[in-house]
Every structure is written in structure tokens, then in C-alpha cells.
């Protein structure tokens, strides 16, 4: 089982203080120095500025055009400034209602425009939208700065907080007050004027650099094509992979040829099955050198500048490093806590990876090869060894995983756990014909959410898989506003002869992203800001869902042959189980090296721009990275941490941190029953519904009855040689 990595997670809604991209957590402080002045209100004709009469308030995608966005952003920003100016000018003494709630409940127009825009720039972008993003992102950064460094506004927030013990606030109100206060302080509200000015400069520059980084990566990824003209070059590739490559070629008017790209459904099967070693080398080299060619799309100078700016900004706030600033808000709390867990896993994972490398080298020798194992050989020979040891072939599994049935399997798990149902709606607007939309209802038939899926790669879609929102959830004027939740992936496409047949890894990814979606669908929070959870807690709902995907009881229901309808044979299920920990040394080292690289970049103690190549090389040498394995994300294409918003900066470790939580939590389901009603009800109530209304560890302990144990993770990954912490202790001694 490989660790699922989603490009963006459902970590936050559109925070009303900021009016920023709702798919990304807030880790960048802002700056301003004077009360916000009201701005004039333009009124261009735009569907973004009028109330949507569509079912469930779905965005009217068929009416929205790129030219509508800038006027809508301008009006949303102006409206937000007017709202803040009204709070500043209120002659009444500051109260929770007229200051904290007034601030929280504003920004609705800007949030609505932002959710639509950033959803499109991720899933269906084009040159026009990218140009708009470059134009509006600095404006959104400036608005954030304006809000957080508005001295009159901060004085009102401060006055309310100082009287908090006398206000009789409910716990959730006290939580909102504290989070609002922290956002202001972390946003630079306590800085002297000269440092506030520098803060603003840093935020403006970072907002531009992150977009440039991501744009370069999308262009570089889309720009590479491996076109094969000779059938001999297809040696070893399964028929489904060959047909998919032929379909891709036909779409590019390359009839009679085969096209392979750097998109996941294309590159990874090729590296796994192709017998053409030089072509495997060519394809992987293109992948791992993206944005690292010294040309106009090179990202090294950009990322080095971003790391230096983040370090400088953190130190302006009084933190030693950017990681210290970020982790203060996470469960890990400190860089030492993160390194503690990663280091504890690294040594045994490295040992297992070396054993795996030796087995692959032996496979090379057994097949007559005289060369040393290289990164472009690993997947190819790992597949040979896996098939020899377990008689398990991914090609034999795919026919049992047609995309629609896998999705229905995820729906079935959610229904059995939480009683919810999914009904497809074909009458709702969507941004692309491939999008499918479902209404979600609770067990009593009441409306819970709208859920959309967008599964296949396109040139306008960035790589990876993620969950986002077109609308969050909160209580407005006493009415429970329900969310519109999105899943976007890059799965194998259907061919002329077969539906989309998923790999085992894609099956787990579908369940993973669906887990994020469930956290949004079931969320019940009174304030939009409190839907956000710590970065190292946000992956718990997604990663725990993966566990159900391959349980025999669940597979027996949804895993059926796409032609015959026959259920997956019990012997295949048993082979999956036996092979579950195969190649886990590789998977863990590949992931941990990226997490360590992220931490190294963001524990820079001096705000200087290092040479990116030398820095990465030193980082890999320090951790003892094996020559035969490439870090999952090299710095020039590490979009998780250097893309817009930098949501995973000093946070990429969170997948493994959350895996400790999900493994420990799922152990309770295994103990009580996969679909035990009481356990499911507790997980829904304490984890999925609460969002950030309480501290993450408090919620987890309320569900589990204790702090998490690392032991279930070690067993699942086949790394149980690591000395386990006592069950009462957190994974890294700092959770």
C-alpha cells in the first residue's frame, strides 16, 4: 500500500477575513497599517455578482466567462473593505457580535467568487485564467494585509479578547475569538510600522512567485511527449496501456502512433511494464528534471527566493524559522516533533529499501542483465519480483476495478457507516462535460451536500488529486448552509474498447479523496473559519477511508469484472493481502525523503537564497538517500510546498503523521467491527462534523479514548522492527 498523496486537501473554507483560495490552508501572514477606507462599488454585468437561481446554489458555469472574474474580484474586495470600514467606524464598544462575528460573517461575495475561480484554475485552466490569477492574487494578498494590520480593527479584536472571561461565551464562540486573535497576531498586527511595510512587500512577492512556480510546472508537464512509432517499442506493455497510448495519440492527431506523457496514468504504467530500458530512462529523466533546465520555465531561483522570503517573514514575527511559524498551529507543534517522527521511520525504512534493492538486483542478474539497478529500473523489476513472489499482476486486477463500480463501492461504505445516500443529478451546471454531480442525503432524507467528481487528466488540469469546495458550510441567519464538495483526480481514461479500469493505487486514491469529501459533506460548524483543521490532522478522514477499500468484505461487493460481472476471486484478494507490505521500503523512503526535504527548506535560519541544486543535493546526502530511488518530489516541481499558497510548506510530513492517526483509528473499527454503528457514529460526531471547533488532539482522544499509538502504522507498513512507543505516548513524543 503506497501512501496516497493528494495535491491539495479539503483543509479550509474561504476564510471571511481573507477572501482567498478555499482549497488551500492559510499559512501566510499579511500586513496593513491603517483603517480600511470604503471603496466605490462598480456594477458590471456578471453572473458572479448576482444571486444564483440554480438548484442548490451551484455556480452557473455555462454563463461564467473569464472576463467576468476581474470585475467580480474588484467588487468582492471593495465590499470586504466596506464591511471592515463599518466595523472600524462602529461607535458602540467592541463586542463579540459587533466585532468578531461581524468580521467572520462578511466577505461572502469574495468567498463565492474565489471558490469558483480557484476551482477552475486547478481543474480547467487556460491562458486567460492564468493571466487573471497573476493579476488578482497580489490584490487578495494586499486585502489580507489590509485586514490584519488595520490598527483600529485590531484594537477592537484586542478589546474583546481582553474581556473574554466576562462575556459568557459558548465554547465554539471562545474558539472563534481565539482563532481570530491568533490570525491577527500571526498576520503581523503587533509589528512596528517599518516591519509591517516589509511584511506587505514579502507577501506581495510570495503571491506572485507561487503562481509563477505552478504555471511553469503545468507548462513543463504538458510540454513533454514521448511518441512511439514502432510496435517493437511497446514490448512488455499490457494491451490496456497500449490502447490508452493509442487513444492519446489519436486525440493529438497522431493516428497509428502511441503517445506517452508525464501524467500519472501514462508514465507509471510505462515505467512498470516497458521492456525498453532506454525509453524508461528517457521518460523518468524528463519527469524528474521538470523545471530544472536553466530556461524560462526553470523554478530553482523562484523556490530559493520563496524559501528565503518565508524565513525572513517568520523572523519578523519572532519565530526562528518558517517551520516554527507553521507548526505552532499544527499537532506537531515544533520542527523537533516532526523530525522526531520522520527520523524514527527513516532508518528502518531505509534498511528495508536496501533489502528490496538487493532483490531487484538479483532479478536483473537472473534475467541476464549485467547493469546496476537505476531509478528507471525500480518499478519494472519490482513488478517482476512481486509477480514471482505473490503471482499478483496489476493487469489481472484492473478488470475488477471499473471506475464507476469503485465509486459506488466508496458510496456503499459511506452508506453503511453513516447512513448517507448519493443520487446522481444531471440537471446541475458543471464546468466540463466529464464532471458528474451527486446530491447527498442523510439517513433521514434531509439534504446534506452536493458532491462533484472530475476523474480524468486534461491539458488544463494540474496533476495529482485533490478535494475542494465550491461552497463551504456554516450557519447563516440561523439557517444551516450546506456545502458543495469537489473531488478532482487524474485517473486512467476509458478506451474505445473498455471503460476506465483503475490500478490498485488509483482505487486507493479514489477512496482517499472521497474521505476528504466526507469530511466536507458531514461537517457541521457554525462559523466558516472553524471548518479549517490543522494540516497534520486534515489527512485523517481521507487516509482512514483507504482501509475499507481493500477489505475482503467490501471488495466482494464492488470489485466485479467489467465484462462478466463476476466478483473478484478470493484467491486474488488473498494475493492483495499478502502483497500489501511489498515494496514498502521504496514507498516509505520515496515519501519520507520529500518530507525531510520540505523540512530542510523551511528550517533555514538565515533568510538567504541558497543554490537550489546544491541545497537539495546536500539534503539528500545528509539523509543517506539511496542512489536507486528518486525523492518523490524534487524541489523544482514540489508544488505542494512552493505552489500558490504553499499549503504544505513545512507540512508535507502530515501524510505520515495522519497515517499514525488513521491506522490507530481504524484498529478500533477492526476491533469493534468494520461497520460498527457506535464506532462510526463517534467518528462522524467527533472527527468529521467538528472541523476546527476544538483542538485536534482533544477530538481524537474523545473518539479513541486515548492518544494515538504508532504500532498499527508499523504493522501496516511492514516496518514493525521500529521499537513501538507505549500506547499512551504520541507517535513522536510531541503530538
Active site residue 695: no
The pLDDT value recorded for residue 720 is 67
User: Can you give the C-alpha Rg of the chain in angstroms?
Assistant: 25
Query: Residue 122 CB: number of other CB atoms within 10 A?
Result: 25
CB-count burial class (<10 Å; 0-12, 13-18, 19+) for 499: middle
- The x, y and z cell numbers of residue 27, run together, are 499559512
Q: Which residues pair with 560 in a beta bridge?
A: 567
The pLDDT value recorded for residue 395 is 85
What value does the mean pLDDT take over residues 594-604?
98
Residues of the chain above pLDDT 90, percent: 87
The pLDDT value recorded for residue 359 is 97
Q: Per CATH, which fold does 400-588+622-646 belong to?
A: 1.10.1370
On the CB side of 50, how many CA atoms lie within 13 Å of its CA?
Answer: 11
139-143, 241-245, 392-396, 545-549: which range is least confident on average? 392-396
CB-count burial class (<10 Å; 0-12, 13-18, 19+) for 168: exposed
358-372, 618-632, 638-652, 711-725: which range is least confident on average? 711-725
Distance of alpha carbon 96 from alpha carbon 105, whole angstroms: 12
Q: What is the pLDDT of residues 133-187, one digit of tens each?
A: 999 999 999 999 999 999 999 999 999 999 999 999 999 999 999 999 999 999 9
Are 96 and 167 within 8 A, CB to CB? yes
The pLDDT value recorded for residue 614 is 98
CA distances from 542 to 472, 477, 568 (A): 18, 31, 25
Give me the chain's average pLDDT, please: 91
Helix then strand count (H, E) for the chain reads 27, 9
The pLDDT value recorded for residue 340 is 93
Q: Which residues contact 239 (CB under 8 A, 6 or more apart)?
A: none
Of 513, 590, 628, 659, which one is the catalytic site residue?
Answer: 513
* Helices within 471-569 (DSSP H only): 504-521, 540-549, 552-558
The larger pLDDT score, comparing residue 233 to residue 646, is at: 233
What value does the mean pLDDT take over residues 697-724?
82
Q: Looking at mean pLDDT, say which of 44-58, 322-336, 720-734 comes out highest.
A: 322-336
Pairing mode, if any, of strands 479-481 and 447-454?
A: unpaired
Q: What is the pLDDT of residues 41-73, one digit of tens each?
A: 444 468 999 989 999 999 999 999 999 999 999
Identify the CA nearest to 86 among candidates 111, 105, 71.
105
CB-count burial class (<10 Å; 0-12, 13-18, 19+) for 608: exposed
CA distances from 95 to 160, 162, 213, 297, 713 (A): 6, 11, 43, 51, 47
The pLDDT value recorded for residue 716 is 83
The larger pLDDT score, comparing residue 287 to residue 20, is at: 287
Residue 357, SS3 per DSSP: helix
- The x, y and z cell numbers of residue 276, run together, are 525498453
Phi-psi region of 506 (alpha: psi -120 to 50; beta: other; left: phi over 0): alpha
Are 345 and 595 within 8 A, CB to CB? no
Residue 645 pLDDT level (bands cut at 50, 70, 90)? confident
Are 467 and 10 within 8 A, CB to CB? yes
* Helices within 624-653 (DSSP H only): 639-642
Query: Residue 495 CB: number of other CB atoms within 10 A?
Result: 19
Distance of alpha carbon 686 from alpha carbon 681, whole angstroms: 8
Q: What is the pLDDT of residues 237-258, one digit of tens each?
A: 999 999 999 999 999 999 999 9
- The x, y and z cell numbers of residue 532, run together, are 479549517
**Is 556's pLDDT higher than 50?**
yes
Domain ranges of the chain: 400-588+622-646
Are 341 and 333 within 8 A, CB to CB? no
**Is 16's pLDDT higher than 90?**
no
The larger pLDDT score, comparing residue 732 to residue 698, is at: 698
**Is 20's pLDDT higher than 60?**
no
Q: What is the pLDDT of residues 443-499, one digit of tens each?
A: 999 999 999 999 999 999 988 899 999 999 999 999 999 999 999 999 999 988 899
Distance of alpha carbon 538 from alpha carbon 731, whole angstroms: 17
Residue 577, SS3 per DSSP: helix
6-10, 63-67, 81-85, 190-194: which range is least confident on average? 6-10
Are 430 and 452 within 8 A, CB to CB? yes
**Is 267's pLDDT higher than 60?**
yes
Residues of the chain above pLDDT 70, percent: 92
Are 13 and 532 within 8 A, CB to CB? yes
- The x, y and z cell numbers of residue 668, run together, are 478500533
Distance of alpha carbon 175 from alpha carbon 16, whole angstroms: 16
The pLDDT value recorded for residue 510 is 98
- The x, y and z cell numbers of residue 582, run together, are 511489498
CA distances from 89 to 7, 148, 152, 190, 456 (A): 42, 16, 9, 21, 50
Pairing mode, if any, of strands 484-488 and 447-454?
A: parallel
- The x, y and z cell numbers of residue 228, run together, are 512511439
Biggest alpha carbon distance in the chain? 85
Are 38 and 81 within 8 A, CB to CB? yes
Amino acid at each position: 500500500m503506497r501512501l496516497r498523496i493528494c495535491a491539495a486537501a479539503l483543509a479550509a473554507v474561504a476564510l471571511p477575513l481573507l477572501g482567498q483560495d478555499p482549497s488551500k490552508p492559510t499559512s501566510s501572514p499579511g500586513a496593513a497599517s491603517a483603517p480600511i477606507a470604503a471603496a466605490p462599488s462598480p456594477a458590471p454585468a456578471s453572473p458572479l455578482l448576482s444571486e444564483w437561481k440554480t438548484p442548490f446554489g451551484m455556480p452557473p458555469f455555462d454563463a461564467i466567462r473569464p472576463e467576468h472574474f476581474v470585475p467580480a474580484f474588484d467588487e468582492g474586495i471593495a465590499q470586504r473593505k466596506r464591511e471592515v470600514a463599518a466595523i472600524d467606524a462602529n461607535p458602540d464598544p467592541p463586542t463579540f457580535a459587533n466585532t468578531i462575528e461581524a468580521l467572520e460573517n462578511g466577505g461572502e461575495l469574495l468567498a463565492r467568487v474565489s471558490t469558483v475561480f480557484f476551482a477552475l484554475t486547478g481543474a480547467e485552466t487556460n491562458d486567460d485564467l492564468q493571466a487573471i490569477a497573476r493579476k488578482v492574487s497580489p490584490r487578495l494578498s494586499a486585502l489580507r494585509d489590509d485586514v490584519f494590520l488595520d490598527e483600529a480593527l485590531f484594537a477592537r479584536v484586542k478589546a474583546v479578547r481582553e474581556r473574554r472571561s466576562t462575556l459568557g461565551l459558548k465554547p465554539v464562540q471562545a474558539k472563534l475569538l481565539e482563532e481570530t486573535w491568533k490570525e491577527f497576531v500571526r498576520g503581523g498586527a503587533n509589528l512596528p510600522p517599518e516591519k509591517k511595510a516589509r511584511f506587505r512587500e514579502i507577501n506581495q512577492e510570495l503571491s506572485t512567485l507561487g503562481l509563477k512556480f505552478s504555471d511553469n510546472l503545468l507548462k513543463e508537464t504538458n510540454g513533454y511527449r514521448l511518441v512511439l512509432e514502432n510496435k517493437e517499442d511497446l514490448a512488455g506493455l499490457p494491451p490496456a496501456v497500449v490502447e490508452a497510448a493509442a487513444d492519446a495519440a489519436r486525440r493529438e492527431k497522431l493516428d497509428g502512433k502511441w503517445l506517452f506523457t508525464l501524467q500519472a496514468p501514462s508514465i507509471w504504467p510505462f515505467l512498470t511494464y516497458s521492456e525498453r530500458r532506454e525509453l524508461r530512462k528517457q521518460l523518468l529523466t524528463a519527469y524528474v528534471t521538470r523545471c530544472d533546465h536553466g530556461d524560462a520555465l526553470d523554478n530553482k531561483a523562484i523556490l530559493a527566493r520563496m524559501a528565503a522570503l518565508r524565513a525572513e517573514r517568520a523572523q519578523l514575527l519572532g519565530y526562528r524559522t518558517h517551520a516554527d511559524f507553521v507548526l505552532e498551529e499544527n499537532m506537531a507543534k515544533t520542527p523537533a516533533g516532526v523530525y522526531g517522527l520522520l527520523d524514527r521511520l527513516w532508518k528502518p525504512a531505509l534498511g528495508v529499501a536496501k533489502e528490496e534493492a538487493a532483490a531487484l538486483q538479483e532479478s536483473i542478474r537472473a534475467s541476464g542483465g549485467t547493469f546496476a539497478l537505476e531509478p528507471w529500473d525500480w518499478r519494472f523489476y519490482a513488478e517482476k519480483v512481486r509477480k514471482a513472489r505473490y503471482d499478483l499482476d496489476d493487469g489481472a486486477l484492473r478488470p475488477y476495478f471499473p471506475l464507476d463500480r469503485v465509486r459506488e463501492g466508496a458510496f456503499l461504505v459511506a452508506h453503511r457507516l453513516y447512513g448517507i445516500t448519493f443520487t446522481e443529478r444531471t440537471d446541475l451546471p458543471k464546468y466540463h462535460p466529464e464532471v458528474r454531480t451527486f446530491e447527498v442525503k442523510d439517513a433521514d432524507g434531509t439534504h446534506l451536500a452536493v458532491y462533484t467528481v472530475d476523474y480524468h487528466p486534461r491539458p488544463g488540469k494540474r496533476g495529482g488529486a485533490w478535494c475542494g469546495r465550491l461552497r463551504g458550510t456554516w450557519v447563516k441567519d440561523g439557517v444551516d448552509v450546506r456545502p458543495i464538495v469537489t473531488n478532482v483526480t487524474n485517473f486512467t481514461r476509458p478506451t474505445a474498447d473498455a471503460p476506465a479500469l483503475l490500478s490498485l493505487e488509483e482505487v486507493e486514491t479514489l477512496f482517499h479523496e472521497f474521505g476528504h469529501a466526507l469530511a466536507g459533506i458531514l461537517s457541521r460548524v457554525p462559523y466558516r473559519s472553524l471548518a479549517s483543521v490543522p494540516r497534520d490532522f486534515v489527512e485523517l478522514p481521507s487516509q482512514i477511508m483507504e482501509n475499507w477499500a481493500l477489505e475482503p468484505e467490501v471488495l466482494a461487493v464492488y470489485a466485479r469484472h467489467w465484462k462478466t460481472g463476476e466478483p473478484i476471486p478470493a484467491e486474488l484478494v488473498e494475493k492483495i493481502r499478502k502483497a500489501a507490505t511489498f515494496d514498502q521500503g521504496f514507498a516509505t523512503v520515496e515519501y519520507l525523503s520529500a518530507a525531510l526535504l520540505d523540512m530542510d527548506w523551511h528550517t533555514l535560519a538565515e533568510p538567504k537564497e541558497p543554490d537550489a541544486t546544491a541545497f537539495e543535493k546536500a539534503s539528500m546526502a545528509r539523509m543517506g538517500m539511496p542512489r536507486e530511488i528518486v525523492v518523490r518530489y524534487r524541489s523544482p516541481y514540489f508544488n505542494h510546498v512552493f505552489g500558490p499558497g504553499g499549503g504544505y510548506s513545512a507540512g508535507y510530513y502530515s501524510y505520515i503523521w495522519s497515517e499514525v492517526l488513521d491506522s490507530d483509528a481504524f484498529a478500533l473499527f477492526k476491533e469493534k467491527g468494520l461497520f460498527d454503528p457506535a464506532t462510526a457514529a463517534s467518528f462522524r460526531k467527533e472527527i468529521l462534523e467538528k472541523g476546527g471547533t476544538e483542538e485536534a488532539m482533544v477530538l481524537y482522544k474523545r473518539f479513541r479514548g486515548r492518544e494515538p499509538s504508532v504500532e498499527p502504522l508499523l504493522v501496516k507498513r511492514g516496518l514493525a522492527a521500529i521499537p513501538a512507543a507505549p500506547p499512551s505516548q504520541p507517535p513522536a513524543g510531541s503530538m
